[in-house]
């Protein structure tokens, strides 16, 4: 297993993995997320070269098996918030046939190393409440809940 920073040559495979992630999320919460079949490779190509973003790709026996995407965010100084810089994990996906083989952990470590090298204070992520496997993974990886999104009205399934 290898995890490395993604490059523009990984554009097609990351785009395919993003579609698989989107499909899985849409299955979990179909009232909130829909499967997007549109081609987003142009936006992904732009993101791959942005200095405040980093994509990683996981390979198992030289085959793509997962990816992670992270970006640097800043909380500005204002009367209500303490200013700081943080890393946001925006996407992490591992092929369903490759799960429970430490690929997610390796991707998470790569993101954390990137965060440390950029001297960002902490790593933050959002996860769907319905994604029990991801919740268990992140909790086992040391993440703590600090916020909770609540919905009133039309309740998602």
User: 18-33: per-residue pLDDT in tens?
Assistant: 999 999 999 998 888 8
pLDDT-flagged residues of the chain (< 70) = 154-157
* Contact assessment for residue 134 and residue 141, using Cβ atoms and an 8 Å cutoff: no
2-140 is classed CATH 3.40.630.30:
yes
pLDDT score for 142:
96
Residue 153 backbone class (left: φ over 0; alpha: ψ -120 to 50; beta: rest): left
pLDDT score for 77:
82
pLDDT score for 41:
84
pLDDT score for 156:
55
Question: Structural domain boundaries of the chain?
Answer: 2-140
């Amino acid at each position: 297993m290898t995890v490395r920073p993604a490059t523009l040559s990984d554009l097609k495979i990351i785009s395919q993995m993003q579609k698989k992630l989107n499909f899985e999320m849409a299955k979990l919460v179909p009232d909130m997320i829909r499967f997007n079949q549109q081609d987003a490779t142009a936006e992904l190509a732009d993101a791959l070269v942005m200095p405040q973003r980093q994509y990683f790709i996981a390979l198992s026996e030289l085959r793509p098996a997962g990816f992670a995407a992270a970006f640097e965010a800043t909380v500005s100084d204002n009367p209500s918030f303490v200013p700081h810089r943080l890393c946001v994990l925006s996407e992490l996906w591992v092929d369903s046939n490759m799960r429970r083989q430490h690929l997610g952990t390796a991707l998470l470590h790569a993101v954390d190393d990137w965060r440390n090298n950029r001297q960002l204070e902490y790593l933050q992520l959002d996860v769907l409440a319905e994604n029990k496997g991801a919740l268990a993974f992140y909790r086992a990886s040391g993440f703590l809940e600090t916020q909770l999104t609540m919905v009133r009205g039309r309740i998602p399934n």
